[in-house]
Amino acid sequence: MRGSQFGYLAVQANADSLLSVVNQVRLILTLVFTAAALLTLLVGTATASRLTRPIEGLVRSMRVVSAGNLQHRASVTSKDEIGYLAQAFNEMTASLEEKTKALEATSFASVEALARAIDARDPYTYGHSARVSRLSFEIAREMGLPSDQLSTLSRAALLHDIGKIGVEDRVLRKPGPLTKREVTAMRAHPVIGYEMLKGLHFLEPSLSGVRHHHEHWDGSGYPDGLSGADIPLAVRILTVADALDALTSDRPYRSAMTFSAAVATIEAGVGIQFDPAVIRALRAHGAAIAALLTVMGKSRAMPSDLLKEPAI
């Protein structure tokens, strides 16, 4: 008092409750900061996933298309920049698919024209490939082949003899029996045709018909000696159609057979050269196929006891 210390004042309190409050505050602050950190992490992860998932999907679509599946389309899940990019990618892919189909159609038309020109080298085989294509289609439809396989078979039939471009005219048009060397040259045409076309990706499903249309059910055919179910069903159908057209066409050494005579000749090779199931389908659909042969200009009758030989 008046500049002099007069006494002391002290307060005594229990610190336990104060320390408890401080610890609670510390725990609450720790929990708040932990929750904030977790929430930030979750929000960041969700945001990143939302941003990267469409990009990853677009990249996967690009890989699918680059692998050759031009019918694939990317999913457009938003209207932002990524969605716009996916939409632009789909438009580009659709345009590429359309142009590729047009290019394939042009390429096939060129190859088909070459095959028809090869048929025309010999007046006795003119139109042969086109007729085999129509006959194969009829038999295959009777056997229930799906539409994509029907299309593949039709292409194979149109091109099956294209390898004859590598066979000399004197062999192709020879009116009499072939020598051993000439038979070897003639039997090379399936492999020649296969080698010609194997670089065309869109024709890959049809190449087995080009290479194997002279394989036999019992394995005695060429060029690879395939047998039974190892020969694709479409090729077994093509083999029968090829023989049917050959037998019902004029040749230098014989006249055309009637449909019934040709079928009887083919049936003699059931289980040897031809698949029994295909022959049953030929018989079951015989009336329609005979009518088709007539439409294609094969109306000449011929006794059935003529020379019976498979097409070379």
- SS3 of 85-125: the string is HHHHHHHHHHHHHHHHHHHHHHHHHHHHHHHHHHHHCCCCC
The CA-to-CA distance between both ends of the chain, in Å, stands at 137
What would the pLDDT profile of 106-139 be if each residue is shown by its tens digit?
888 888 888 888 777 776 677 899 999 999 999 9
Between the alpha carbon of residue 38 and those of residues 28, 42, 50, 66, the distances in Å are: 15, 6, 18, 41
Bond prior to 223 in cis (omega within 30° of 0) = yes
The CATH code for residues 121-295 is 1.10.3210.10
* Residue in this structure with the two tokens 């389309």, named with its chain if needed: 73
Query: Does 164 qualify as catalytic in the annotation?
Result: yes
Domain-wise residue ranges, the chain: 16-92, 121-295
Question: DSSP 3-state assignment of 251?
Answer: strand
**What's the rounded Cα separation, in Å, for the pair 271 and 227?**
10
Residue of 79, 99, 101, 164 with catalytic role: 164
Provide the residue type at 166 as one letter: G
**pTM for the complete prediction?**
0.69
pLDDT per residue of the chain (312 residues) written in tens, 0 to 9: 677 877 777 777 777 777 788 888 888 988 888 888 888 888 887 776 666 777 778 888 888 888 878 888 888 777 777 788 888 888 888 888 888 888 888 888 888 888 888 777 776 677 899 999 999 999 999 899 998 899 999 999 999 999 998 888 888 888 878 899 999 999 999 999 999 999 888 899 999 999 999 999 999 999 999 999 999 999 999 999 999 999 998 877 778 888 999 999 999 999 999 999 999 999 998 888 988 888 887 765 333 333 334 444
